[in-house]
Amino acid sequence: MPGTVKNGVKRRGSRVETVIEHGRATVETALEHGRATVEDVLHHGRAAVESALLHGRATVETAIEHGRATMKAAILHGREDIRIEHVPVPEAGSGELVVEVGAALTCGTDLKVFRRGYHARMIVPPALFGHELAGTVVQAGKGVTKFRPGDRVVALNSAPCGQCYFCRRDQENLCDDLMFNNGAYAEYIRIPSRIVAKNTLRVPDHVPLEHAALTEPLACAVHGFEDSRPHPGDTVAVIGGGPLGLMILHVAALAGCEVIAIVRHDGQAEAAKLLGAAHVVQTRNIRQAIQMTRALTPSDRGVDIAIEAVGVPEAWQEAVELVRKGGAVNFFGGCAVNTHVALDTNKIHYSDFTLRATFHHTPAICRRALDLIAGGRFQAGAFITGHAHLYELNRVFEKLMNRSSEIKTAIVP
Ligand SMILES: [Zn+2]
Ligand SMILES: [Zn+2]
C-alpha cells in the first residue's frame, strides 16, 4: 500500500520523528495524546513504517509490544466493522480478575452482532467484542480469594444478580439485571467482580483452554435440551446445523435420544453424523423436511421433541409440524425483534403440545457444561474447525457469513 504509506508518513511524519528522536518517554506521550497517530502508521502502513522508522523502530516496538501499557483488542465500531486497536491493558479492580486470553471462540451471536452492528442486550459499539473465552489469570484484584495468577479459568459471558424475583425462583437466566461481559477477542480481558464470584470456573489440567471456552454455548445447549424434558429413547428432531444446533443434537445423542438432524449444507450433515445423529434430513425445502422427518417415525406420527435452533419464524412454524400428539416443541433460536409467527391453534390445543422457548443459561448449568467437556464423552474438538490470529478476525467473520463449513474458529491473540 505505497499510497497509504506515503500519506501516512507525510501526515504523521513529525510525530514519528519525535518518537524516534526522543525515545521511549515520548512514545508514551505519543501513545497517550496521539495514539491514533502511531497506530495508524503501524496498522495501515506497516511496511512503510519499517523504512520510515529505520532506526527508531525498535523503540516503538519495545514500547508497544513489551511495555504492556497497551494490548491488541478487537473493537466493534458498527456493522461489519471490527478494528484491531491498541487499548490500555485492563487492571483488576476490587473483586476482579485480569485474564490473559488463551482462546476466544467465534459464535453465532457474535456473527449476528457483526452483521447488525449492535446487540440490544449485550453490546453497544464502539466496544470490546467477543464473549466465549478461557485463559490464565494474570492479576487478581483485592478481595479475590478463589483465584490467583496462574490459574486456568473459563469466565462466562454473564452473571445474574442473585436477588431479583427471577433469581430467587431459580430462573437466573431471566435475571432482571443480567450483567454481560465482552472483550474476549483481545490479549487480556477484565472479568467483573460479579462474574468472578458467580460464573468463573477453574479449568481442569487435562482440558485444553479452547475446549473450556465452549462452556458458554454448551451451557445454552444443555439448558435448551433439558428444558425440553427429554426421556432416554425419545426421538428428538433438531432444526438447524449451526454450532448450537450441532451441540444440542450431540448432547441429545449422548443422553440416549434418537436424534434426527435437519440441516441444509453438506458440512452440517457430515458434522451431524459425526456427533451422533441417527438420521440426517438434508433439504432446503421446509415441506419436504417435515415429510421426511415424520416418515422416520412409526406411522408418521411425529417426533417426541422438536428443537428449533435457527432463529427464523419459518423454522419455528416448521418445529410445530414435526411433533406427535402430546409432544414438546422448543423454540430455542432467537428471532429478530418484531417478528411474528402464525400457529395452528386448533392443532396445538387438541394435540396437547407443550411449547417452550429456552433462553441463555444459569450458573448451575454452566458448571454441568464444563463437567461434560471435562468428562471426555463430549467431542469438544469437533466443534473447533479452525484457528486464526486476532488480526484475521474480519476475514473470519466474512467467511462465517458466507456459510462455510466452519463451526467455530478459535481466535488466538
Ligand atoms: Zn456465544
Ligand atoms: Zn437477578
- Ligand 2 centre and the CA of 195: distance in Å? 13
> pLDDT-based confidence at 68, cuts 50/70/90?
low
Greater model confidence, 216 or 404: 216
Inform me whether the pLDDT recorded for 86 exceeds 80.
yes
pLDDT per position as a tens digit, 301-328: 999 999 999 999 999 999 999 999 999 9
| Lowest mean per-residue pLDDT among 58-72, 265-279, 300-314 | 58-72
Q: Name 145's Cβ contacts closer than 8 Å, sequence gap at least 6.
A: none
pLDDT per position as a tens digit, 356-372: 999 999 999 999 999 99
Q: What is d(CA 126, CA 26) in angstroms, rounded to the nearest whole number?
A: 28
Task: Quote the pLDDT of residue 258.
Answer: 98
Q: Which ligand is nearest to the CA of 172?
A: 2
Greater model confidence, 222 or 12: 222
Task: Quote the pLDDT of residue 112.
Answer: 87
Task: Quote the pLDDT of residue 287.
Answer: 97
Inform me whether the pLDDT recorded for 47 exceeds 50.
no
Ranges of beta strands (E only) in 160-247 are 179-180, 188-191, 200-202, 235-239
Count of Cβ atoms closer than 10 Å to residue 57 Cβ: 15
% of the chain residues with pLDDT over 90: 74
> pLDDT-based confidence at 66, cuts 50/70/90?
low
Ranges of beta strands (E only) in 264-382 are 279-282, 303-308, 323-331, 354-356
> pLDDT-based confidence at 12, cuts 50/70/90?
very low
- Ligand 1 centre and the CA of 131: distance in Å? 6
- Ligand 2 centre and the CA of 175: distance in Å? 4
Q: Which ligand is nearest to the CA of 170?
A: 2
236 neighbors 303 (Cβ within 8 angstroms): yes
78 neighbors 117 (Cβ within 8 angstroms): yes
Task: Quote the pLDDT of residue 406.
Answer: 86
% of the chain residues with pLDDT over 70: 83
pLDDT per position as a tens digit, 166-200: 999 999 999 999 999 999 999 999 999 999 999 99
Inform me whether the pLDDT recorded for 29 exceeds 60.
no
Task: Quote the pLDDT of residue 39.
Answer: 52
Task: Quote the pLDDT of residue 118.
Answer: 76
**Mean pLDDT confidence for 83-105:** 96
- Ligand 1 centre and the CA of 260: distance in Å? 24
Provide the grid cell at 291. Answer: 415429510
Q: What is d(CA 254, CA 345) in angstroms, rounded to the nearest whole number?
A: 34
Inform me whether the pLDDT recorded for 379 exceeds 90.
yes
> pLDDT-based confidence at 389, cuts 50/70/90?
very high
Q: Which ligand is nearest to the CA of 168?
A: 2
Q: What is d(CA 15, CA 86) in angstroms, rounded to the nearest whole number?
A: 18
Element (H, E) at 369: helix 363-375
| Lowest mean per-residue pLDDT among 20-24, 66-70, 113-117, 297-301 | 20-24
Task: Quote the pLDDT of residue 374.
Answer: 98
Q: What is d(CA 7, CA 21) in angstroms, rounded to the nearest whole number?
A: 21
Per the document, the length of the chain is: 413
Greater model confidence, 122 or 131: 131
Q: Which ligand is nearest to the CA of 113?
A: 1
- Ligand 1 centre and the CA of 388: distance in Å? 17
Q: Considering only CA atoms, which of 276, 329, 281, 278 is closest in space to residue 307?
A: 329
User: Ranked by mean pLDDT, which of 77-81, 326-330, 392-396 comes out on top?
Assistant: 326-330
- Ligand 2 centre and the CA of 159: distance in Å? 9
Q: Name 236's Cβ contacts closer than 8 Å, sequence gap at least 6.
A: 228, 230, 249, 252, 257, 258, 259, 260, 303, 304, 305, 306, 307
**Mean pLDDT confidence for 15-23:** 48
98 neighbors 198 (Cβ within 8 angstroms): no
Q: Between β-strands 127-128 and 179-180, what pairing exists: parallel, antiparallel or unpaired?
A: unpaired
Provide the grid cell at 2. Answer: 505505497
Taking every pair of Cα atoms in the chain, the longest distance, rounded to a whole number of angstroms, is 83
Q: Which ligand is nearest to the CA of 119?
A: 1
**Mean pLDDT confidence for 127-144:** 96
213 neighbors 103 (Cβ within 8 angstroms): yes
Q: Which ligand is nearest to the CA of 156?
A: 1
